Every structure is written in C-alpha cells, then in structure tokens.
Amino acid sequence: MTGKTALVIGSGPIGALAVAVLKRAGARRVVAVDMHTRPLEIASAVGADEVLKGDDAAAIEAVAADIVIESSGSHHGLASAIKGAVRGGKVVMVGLLPSGPQPVLISLAITRELELLGSFRFNDEIDEVIAALADGSLLVDPVVTHTFALDDALEAFDVARNAAVSGKVLLDFAPDADA
C-alpha cells in the first residue's frame, strides 16, 4: 500500500476504519466518500487526505485510485468504486450488498482490467490489528461517536440508525457506579 492512492466508498464505521488502516499501511493519498457530512468528518479525523460527497461523480472518477474499498453496501457505491479505480486497479468489496442480482458496471471493470475482490470478516490480520491498537499506531477513537448505558439501548439504536449524526455507537454494559 505504500505510496498508493486509495479510495474508500462509504465512510460509516467500517469505511472509516478502512481509512485508518490504509493510512497506517502507508497509502500516499486516501480519499473518503459518503453521502453525509458527519461520516466524512470522522474519515478526516482518522486520516483521510480528502473527502468527497457521494453525488460528485466527476470528482470520484478523477481520483483514479490504485485500490478502492467499497464499504457502502449499495450498487451505487460499487459503481462509484469501479469508476474511481485506475486501469489495472483493485476494488475490494467490503460492503454487503443485498442478496439477489445487482446492477454492476462489469463492462467498465473488464475494459479497465480491474481486479474485483470480495472480503467478508477477517482471518490472520486480527493479530496485527490488535497489536496496532495496543501500540496506538492505529487511530480509531474518532470512529466511536456515542456511548449509551444499557438501559438506553433503544435510544442508542435510534442514534445508530442515523448515519448523518453518528459513527460507531456503543452500549456500556458496566454496572452504574451511582446505583
């Protein structure tokens, strides 16, 4: 990844964490894309060099990224990922699209000779991530935007559902110290 340009489509918690990992891995330039301002602010806080609104198709295509992480989980995001990749680039599909047929710009992927890779969960890299969290070299704190007591779980889910105001929303299972 060192010296490469990366594009992250979808800057929710997973996309923001991808930005942080890409920066730690030495990406020269990381561009984050989302439809909402709050996720873009979080992506900037964890290392995005540039942020773009998801409806700015021309700017996304102009990125010409060596590697694209598609984490929006929508066919529109996948289309942006394909358009934003440089000839011979890689598109890693992290966002889980709905089951069933999906419209894909397969002709463009073929003519640009893109490598389309699926990614679901993790395997051996978890040890490296834990070490990076422990030594502080992986910036993730800005991704957590809200923490709620367990008794406020319904409110937590309402906040988490609104990508325009939240990143990762956590429930605190610790007993109340005041009780």
- Residue 161: CB atoms within 10 A of its CB come to 10
Higher pLDDT, 120 or 160: 160
Please report the pLDDT score of residue 171 as a whole number: 95
Amino acid at 46: V
The CATH class given to the 5-135 domain equals alpha beta
Please report the pLDDT score of residue 175 as a whole number: 77
Please report the pLDDT score of residue 18 as a whole number: 95
pLDDT tens track for 15-44: 999 999 999 999 999 999 999 999 999 999
Whole-prediction pTM: 0.90
Please report the pLDDT score of residue 127 as a whole number: 85
As a dihedral over the C-alpha atoms of residue 51, residue 119, residue 87, residue 13, rounded to 10 degrees, the angle is 0
Q: Is the pLDDT of residue 177 over 60?
A: no
Outline which parts of the chain fall under CATH 3.40.50.720: 5-135
pLDDT tens track for 117-149: 998 777 777 888 888 988 999 888 999 999 999
pLDDT tens track for 73-118: 999 999 999 999 999 999 999 998 889 999 999 999 999 999 999 9
What is residue 147's three-state secondary structure?
Answer: strand
In whole angstroms, give the CA distance from residue 86 to residue 24.
22
Task: Average the pLDDT over each of 62-71, 118-127, 164-173 and give the range with the smallest value.
Answer: 118-127
In whole angstroms, give the CA distance from residue 160 to residue 154.
10
- The helix-helix angle for 13-24 and 37-45 (nearest 10°) equals 30
Token pair, residue 76, equals 């529109």
Residues 6+ apart with CB under 8 A from 62: none
**Mean pLDDT (the chain, rounded):** 93
